[in-house]
Amino acid sequence: MAPFLIRANTDYTTFSALIDENFPDIRQRIRDDSNIRPSVIKNELVNDYARIGSFLTHTNAVMLALQRLEQALLDKLAAKVRDEGDAGGSFTTLQNTLSGNTLPSGVFKFPSTTNARGESIYFKTHKLLSSTLQDLEDLHNFNGRSVDTFEQTPAMDLYPGAKVARNPGRPEAATSSGGDPVAFLRLPDKAKTDPSNWPGGAKPVGVPAVSGILGQAFNKTLLRHGYHFKDPGAGIAHGEYTHRLQWYAVVTKSAEIGLRNSPLDIFRSLGSDWCKQQKIGRGNDGSELTGYYMWEALFDCAPAGLQLAEWRPHSDTFTCPEAMLKQLTPSVLYTHDTHFLLKALMRARNAKRSGNVSGGDSSFERQDYGLRFTGASTKTIQTATGFKGAYLFWYLSH
């Protein structure tokens, strides 16, 4: 099998050819899918994938797009500080931390401390990054804000086998007999367990946190329904925000990239069955592999040299989360860096997650994170879905 290596600075034509080579029947399968909503430009979906993939291989172009995020972070922090006034508060403390720890060389010295759980962190970021990312996501109707669907007749239920937790009360993990995700929604006591009877359809609004490996729930729930996600269980090197950062850059530059479909429809299309390429082969570790997804090729490539198999997508470009995170978490950060605030926040988040590592286990929060939210917790859970030890959590504070 030919290597599926995505190289730096790949142009659109070359990336398009790479897709045609590694997903040989996807264009025909899209044409044959009669359930796609008519407003979706079907014959441009694969071309849009190639436009996005090519863009993400151009590191400088992506970093330029993320300058918009840097400015948005600066603006939001300044507004929060103004709101706090002379009395100060958490955002004033954050601003003072960022401006008061510069060495004569211009290097930012990260202050080290621990939080209430004893986890090692540099400083508290007060959800500045996550809320700023969500501002743009919500503007483009991600995260449960869209009133339409990708399909004319939705075939992927967000809540198969759903249960409802009483209010007040906490969800209790369970799974449905069919192996689909189970949802819990924080609703009034009188709420019925039938999802169709939940208020307003009860579609959760916001960005869920992921704990564990969701399997098909990732496609059925997150992608098809247009939810970005916080991914603390993916491993420190992967990062919890990298996919949202990839999409922030894509959405910001969608016109320049030349996307024909909306970012939301492209995102939701990636949950389709035709976005998986069936291919049976052996991994480098001897395991049997059954294929790969378009999501992997565009946003979740394995780091080159660490791929499970040569014929699986791998790259050192920003199609690989590890490559993007490495760029955004330098070991030395200067206050004059064009992305200083973004990089400082990313370093702080990584330090927080590193504090949860036990014995060097790369799956550091796949179990702990789930237990934190299904056990005694100060978090208010809006919705949680879970299967085989993997969970999605929508909570009321983002």
Reduce the DSSP state of residue 49 to 3 states and report it.
helix
Sheet with 302-303, edge to edge strand ranges: 5-6, 314-315, 302-303
The percentage of residues in the chain with a pLDDT greater than 90, rounded to a whole number, is 48
pTM value is 0.85
27-54 average pLDDT score: 97
Reduce the DSSP state of residue 357 to 3 states and report it.
coil
Tens of pLDDT along 338-356? 999 999 999 988 876 665 4
Taking all residues of the chain, what is their mean pLDDT, rounded to a whole number? 78
Most confident of 122-126, 153-157, 225-229, 354-358: 225-229
Instruction: Tell me the pLDDT band of 32, cut-offs 50, 70 and 90.
Output: very high
Is pLDDT larger for residue 113 or for residue 323?
Answer: 323
Is pLDDT larger for residue 215 or for residue 179?
Answer: 215
Is pLDDT larger for residue 206 or for residue 39?
Answer: 39
Domain-wise residue ranges, the chain: 5-142+241-256+294-360
CA distances from 350 to 96, 147, 169, 329 (A): 20, 35, 31, 8
Instruction: Tell me the pLDDT band of 389, cut-offs 50, 70 and 90.
Output: very low
Q: Is the pLDDT of residue 192 over 60?
A: no
Interstrand relation of 182-186 and 163-165 (parallel, antiparallel or unpaired): parallel
276-299 average pLDDT score: 84
357-366 average pLDDT score: 37
Contact 37, 152 (CB under 8 A): yes
Contact 103, 329 (CB under 8 A): no
Q: Is the pLDDT of residue 214 over 70?
A: no
Q: Is the pLDDT of residue 375 over 50?
A: no
Range 90-93, long-range pairs (CB < 8 A, 24+ positions): 90/124, 90/126, 91/126, 91/128, 93/124
Q: For residue 240, what is the DSSP state?
A: S
DSSP codes of every residue in 56-96: HT-HHHHHHHHHHHHHHHHHHHHHHHHHHGGG--HHHHHHH
40-52 average pLDDT score: 98
**For residue 149, what pLDDT is reported?**
86
**For residue 209, what pLDDT is reported?**
72
